[in-house]
Amino acid sequence: MTIHREGITTLIGTLLVLVLINSAVYYLLPQQTLLRQGLVVASFLFYLFVLQFFRNPSRKIRLDEKMIIAPADGTVVVIEETVENEYFNAPRRQVSIFMSPVNVHVNRNPVSGTVKFFKYHPGKYLVAWHPKSSTDNERTTIVVKMPSGAEVLFRQIAGAMARRIRWYVKEGQNVQQGSEMGFIKFGSRVDVFLPLNAKILVDINQKTIGGQTVIAELM
């Protein structure tokens, strides 16, 4: 288990703020022992919460060109056939995974191949499970063309708390299934759009492990 590089600045800044607050209370209210002790405990627990958010566990990835693996830890909240209007302009099978603040927030490539399309969209910060979050919120759209020729689109979507999306891919880049492709801070969602003949292997409300849970099989 390591701490993700995206958390270094946040963790240092949070620690400095908590130290300053506790120091101020210690010197300004020397008689308030219970208050000072309570603040120390609360600060410690808050810092642990922030720290766990940036954890980056080691994952053993089993590569399989026919399998689509979960791009994130979280809960499956959408499985449906829909029309994807940004790139395909055609029906696709959609699987959406919601990440709560307690999930690991590293995003991983669900397939291996070449990045054929990438676009960043500034936008709103609706709650991640809102129906319009995938079209109105801040988000990225990535399309990877697999060696078989199949194309898979996935979207990082910011939520009400997530105000920073990071990505590590660009058009023309070759990516490997399970490798890191981005990070979203403090609660968010990832949508995956698959060919209609894809066999979905997860259920609504099922928990996923990024880089390990197989969400679909290409037929």
Q: Domain-by-domain residue ranges, the chain?
A: 2-56, 67-217
- Cβ burial 10-44 (10 Å sphere, 16+ → b, else e): bbeebeeebeeebeebeeeeeeeeeeeeebeeebe
Please report which confidence band the pLDDT of residue 163 belongs to, taking 50, 70 and 90 as the band edges: low
Q: Which residues are catalytic?
A: 188
DSSP secondary structure code for residue 137 in this structure: B
pLDDT at 58 over 90: no
Tell me what pLDDT residue 187 has.
66
Contact criterion met (CB below 8 Å) for 214 and 69: yes
Q: Which tens digit of pLDDT belongs to each residue from 67-118?
A: 999 999 999 999 999 999 999 999 999 999 999 888 998 999 999 999 999 9
Query: CA-to-CA distance for 24 and 42, rounded, in angstroms?
Result: 15
Tell me what pLDDT residue 106 has.
93
Q: Flag whether the pTM goes above 0.75.
A: yes
Three-state DSSP class for 1?
Answer: coil
In angstroms, the Cα distances linking 42 to 17, 18, 51, 89, 146 are 13, 10, 14, 50, 48
Fold of 67-217: Glucose Permease (Domain IIA) (2.70.70)
77: exposed, middle or buried (Cβ count in 10 Å: 0-12, 13-18, 19+): middle
Contact criterion met (CB below 8 Å) for 190 and 43: no
pLDDT at 162 over 60: no
